[in-house]
Structure 1
């Protein structure tokens, strides 16, 4: 990082300038009037303005600071030439937008002497990028194609040395479902009530459906009232977005585990030793005869009927 000073050829006037304003790509860097200084977003602690000459120092330089900077200086006595801004409106698409399928433009219009148009989205400056462009006069923000993160409140602030006004537009981008997941245990003791919940990232919120052993259930939750041998198996949740017409599924295998199961009371083990012992499940008649490998990252088991 470094710093740069933009110097003007102006001499300090007998009477202070009515206003000094700097813009970068149509975005306010700082506007200084008799009422005080208004720095742009992200510039507050990076700039120093000499109001007597209009010179500006910019610190903490990054590649994003490259470009054309414009200074506007208005001497005293010219305020009568400024017409207050009014009638600020922001217009955007009225049609339904779907991620990666549609494009959008948001336009800021105003009457009066417009010196600066500054855009923010959800409180952060709007900057040009691979899918976002701003018109030379900063009147229009164009997005092609729209993505989920492009949704939000777009606010346009129009100003001149004697006035300012703001208007906003809420841009909705429908997307998903993404990141479908099931929250709940994959194993529980027999007889236990088990609740599985399905979640997804989606706008509008997704509709959910469950499949288990040929049975379909609608809703975000699936409740197994009494876990037994018949309710063990693969539970599939499908999330559907009615606007994007997309769907995604995920599954969870639910199994029963014995309470107090494992090695029988007569078994002893040493690390790395193979041990044959009965492993009992509450709802089975009898037990399974298992071979456990103690001390491995995950136990390996081979089951055979236990007499």
Structure 2
């Protein structure tokens, strides 16, 4: 015997006693509502020419309303409910958390047959005051650890963590507490630097908090942007770059000697023989106490006029004592 036949048989038994559980009389649920808000328990019944003999709604042990020729309303629901006698739908207002639970409607149709439906209501407090907290500390990559805690008020169903608007996943450095309230970074890395978001939600509200985490790192990826060869007499600009928080300080050396240039730009107004050689840029971070260097070998361009190249070569040899 299939499920449909079993339901039919059960309903026939209940009919003999004057009650049948109406299949689909209420949506499957559960319904969700917000504290101080309104929810409507709609039925799938269409108004008929003959009104229902009675409509009764119950919640736990309380008879919310019994509607026949008159309405009998429980004192606790006075001013909070409205009943549609044509369909049996009930509107419940000024919701409180204690309104959560199972609601039962019993409808007596013309002819004496009673049908019944059940549905669950979950009431949630709106999410408010979402924020992310972290211990105050100076964080240095690969040396420091920290954690971020997501706080909020209201009925919290889920917490979701993101970083720079992308989902944050567990890794060898990232771990989450069982309730997802706290994310731990052990130890922090340069990739840990950025904006963290925590989205707190329930079925009736969502709130997102953000926190900018500063991780001091570097300098990494030091490089010199500029030509490795240029024509004699040409202006040459070299720029030193590095990934670093806080921004790196720069210093330059030329052929092993300090140039006293202490910024990211090194400008050669006119390339001469004495400007050809090895340029070293050193980037340093005063918080991490680390530094890294890179090298550029600046040469005279072979595309320069032959007489200019020969003159530059002769001048270089003279300066170096070969002639």
TM over 0.5: yes
Offset of 1:178 from its aligned partner? 0.8
Q: Judge conservation of contact 1:280–1:286 (CA < 8 Å) in 2.
A: no
> Which structure 2 residues correspond to residues 69-148 of structure 1 after superposition, within 5 A?
76=119, 78-80=121-123, 82-148=124-190
Offset of 1:95 from its aligned partner? 1.2
Offset of 1:78 from its aligned partner? 2.7
Distance 1:17 1:195, change over 3 A: same
1:249 to 275, 283, 293: 293
TM-score, normalization by structure 1: 0.62
* Separation in 2, partners of 1:131, 1:256: 48
* Separation in 2, partners of 1:240, 1:19: 60
Give unmatched runs, 5+ long, in structure 1. 1-10, 21-32, 35-73, 263-278, 289-304
Q: Which runs of 4+ in 1 moved over 4 A?
A: 74-77, 284-288
Offset of 1:255 from its aligned partner? 2.1
Higher gyration radius (CA): 2
* Separation in 2, partners of 1:12, 1:122: 46
Offset of 1:105 from its aligned partner? 0.3
* Separation in 2, partners of 1:284, 1:238: 29
Question: Which one has a larger percent helix, Structure 1 or Structure 2?
Answer: 2
Q: Judge conservation of contact 1:212–1:234 (CA < 8 Å) in 2.
A: yes
Q: Name the structure 1 match of 2:211.
A: 169
SS state at 1:283 partner: helix
2:26 to 5, 14, 19: 14
Q: Judge conservation of contact 1:190–1:282 (CA < 8 Å) in 2.
A: no
* Separation in 1, partners of 2:182, 2:310: 67
Deviations 1:117-174 (A, max 9, x none): 1111111112111111100000000010111111221111112222222211111111
Count of aligned pairs between the two proteins: 212
2:267 to 193, 215, 223: 223
Offset of 1:199 from its aligned partner? 0.9
TM-score, normalization by structure 2: 0.59
Q: Name the structure 2 match of 1:206.
A: 248
Deviations 1:218-272 (A, max 9, x none): 111111122112111111100111221111011112122452339xxxxxxxxxx
* Separation in 1, partners of 2:316, 2:141: 54
Q: Confirm or deny that 1:160 pairs with 2:202.
A: yes
Distance 1:241 1:287, change over 3 A: closer
Distance 1:187 1:13, change over 3 A: farther
Q: Confirm or deny that 1:235 pairs with 2:279.
A: yes
Give unmatched runs, 5+ long, in structure 2. 1-22, 33-38, 41-100, 103-118
SS state at 1:174 partner: strand
* Separation in 1, partners of 2:314, 2:174: 66
* Separation in 1, partners of 2:227, 2:310: 18
Q: Confirm or deny that 1:190 pairs with 2:232.
A: yes
SS state at 1:255 partner: strand
Offset of 1:188 from its aligned partner? 1.5
